[in-house]
């Protein structure tokens, strides 16, 4: 009897380990439909929302600002499907590569860039990051903070393009916090500052990201981590044994091919859509395409913008909107 109990316990344990990370779809963003499929995944970018839980979740969901959002209690919410582009990094650069949104997964963590986070939350971030690293083959030193990749254009106060536009996610570069997250390395220097593409505009931030300043040793304990040359860092082999993330919508391997939602008139033409009418006071969408007016296979274009029928706002119908559909065979 005892042996049976032990083996049942073992099976349960194995199952829970293999199940990996599970996420909630409760705040999945309506913006998913508008977002193109990402062609490469090289980085994981960690953010801090700098706001309370409820308003953070609402904000990132409404605007589609990250792929996942992790709360202080350790709950993980899927916001944008992970194969699509989320708008999280803004004006960004790493090792001369710009527009980091097109090459990364963004994780928003409810909390502040310079305040400690509960262990429960850090453990959830650790597990989620580990799973994503295995799926995409991302090494520890390519798990970066938003403040590491964000940069500012030259402006009234800064004569040159500069690093230090924000301190978002700063704590995740500290060795003590990386120790809890089981990230054994970090970049030894800022590759874009070293190559003189950018200058340092926030010395304090710079000494946290690349120096020895670590304000959380008292909370999380000292940790030593390897410093890696970011210009030589490469992706590693993905781990096919990983089960992936449970509870996700549309979670498919990064290599699969997806239908790209047309975002310009050129793309509509390229995908075989034809203009079937123009909205006017006398000709409403219902008169032109009938019940298909709000179908996902119907598109509206106005002033260069393309809006899918399933998210078009009927209050915003206006004269001059062109309606597009594929000819039926």
Q: Which residues bind Zn ion (CB under 5 A)?
A: 47, 146, 168
Q: How far is the CB of 180 from Zn ion (least distance, A)?
A: 20
φ, ψ of residue 277 in degrees (nearest 5): 165, 165
Minimum CB distance to Zn ion smaller for 168 or for 288: 168
Minimum CB distance to Zn ion smaller for 192 or for 268: 192
Rounded Cα gap, residues 20 and 256, in angstroms: 21
Rounded Cα gap, residues 284 and 24, in angstroms: 39
Beta bridge partners of 98: 93
Minimum CB distance to Zn ion smaller for 129 or for 168: 168
**β pairing state of 43-48 and 104-109:** parallel
**β pairing state of 274-278 and 322-325:** antiparallel
Minimum CB distance to Zn ion smaller for 168 or for 177: 168
Q: How far is the CB of 23 from Zn ion (least distance, A)?
A: 20
Q: How far is the CB of 177 from Zn ion (least distance, A)?
A: 16
Q: How far is the CB of 308 from Zn ion (least distance, A)?
A: 28
Minimum CB distance to Zn ion smaller for 23 or for 45: 45
Q: How far is the CB of 217 from Zn ion (least distance, A)?
A: 24
Q: Residue 6 burial (CB < 10 Å; 0-12/13-18/19+)?
A: exposed
Q: Residue written as tokens 């997964």?
A: 105
Q: What are the tokens at 7? A: 């083996």
Task: Using the CB atoms, write b or e for 17-35: b if 16+ within 10 Å.
Answer: eeebbebeeeebbebbebb
Minimum CB distance to Zn ion smaller for 38 or for 146: 146
- DSSP secondary structure code for residue 150 in this structure: B
Q: How far is the CB of 108 from Zn ion (least distance, A)?
A: 7
Q: Rounded to the nearest 5 degrees, what angle is found at the Cα of 141, between the Cα atoms of 204 and 153?
A: 50
Minimum CB distance to Zn ion smaller for 167 or for 325: 167
Query: Which whole-number Å values give the CA distances from 254 to 179, 186, 245, 269, in the listed order?
Result: 28, 25, 13, 27
Q: How far is the CB of 100 from Zn ion (least distance, A)?
A: 11
Q: How far is the CB of 106 from Zn ion (least distance, A)?
A: 8
Minimum CB distance to Zn ion smaller for 35 or for 146: 146
Q: Residue written as tokens 């393009």?
A: 161
- Whether 251 and 82 have beta carbons less than 8 Å apart is answered as yes
């Amino acid at each position: 009897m005892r042996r049976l109990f032990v083996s049942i316990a073992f099976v349960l344990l194995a199952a829970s380990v293999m199940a990996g990370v599970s996420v909630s779809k409760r705040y999945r963003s309506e913006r998913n439909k508008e977002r193109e499929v990402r062609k490469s995944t090289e980085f994981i970018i960690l953010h801090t929302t700098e706001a309370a839980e409820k308003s953070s979740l609402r904000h990132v969901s409404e605007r589609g600002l990250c792929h996942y959002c992790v709360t202080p209690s350790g709950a993980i919410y899927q916001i944008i499907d992970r194969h699509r582009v989320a708008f999280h990094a803004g004006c960004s650069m790493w090792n001369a590569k710009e527009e980091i949104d097109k090459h990364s997964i963004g994780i928003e963590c409810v909390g502040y860039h310079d305040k400690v986070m509960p262990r429960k939350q850090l453990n959830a971030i650790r597990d989620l990051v580990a799973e994503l690293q295995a799926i995409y083959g991302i090494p520890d030193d390519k798990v970066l903070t938003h403040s590491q990749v964000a940069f500012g254009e030259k402006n009234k106060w800064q004569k040159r393009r500069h690093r230090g536009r924000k301190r978002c996610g700063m704590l995740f570069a500290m060795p003590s916090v990386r120790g809890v997250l089981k990230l054994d390395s970090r970049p030894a220097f800022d590759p874009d500052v070293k190559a003189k593409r950018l200058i340092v505009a926030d010395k304090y931030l710079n000494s946290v990201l690349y120096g020895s300043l670590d304000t959380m040793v008292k909370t999380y304990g000292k940790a030593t981590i390897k410093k890696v040359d970011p210009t030589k860092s490469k992706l590693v082999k993905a781990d096919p044994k990983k089960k992936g993330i449970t509870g996700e919508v549309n979670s498919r391997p990064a290599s699969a091919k997806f239908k790209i939602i047309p975002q310009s008139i050129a793309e509509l033409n390229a995908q075989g859509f034809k203009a079937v009418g123009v909205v006017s006071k006398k000709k409403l969408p219902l008169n032109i395409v009938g019940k298909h007016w709000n179908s996902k296979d119907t598109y509206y274009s106005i002033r260069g913008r393309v809006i899918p029928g399933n998210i078009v706002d009927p209050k915003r119908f206006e004269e001059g909107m062109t309606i597009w559909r594929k000819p039926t065979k």
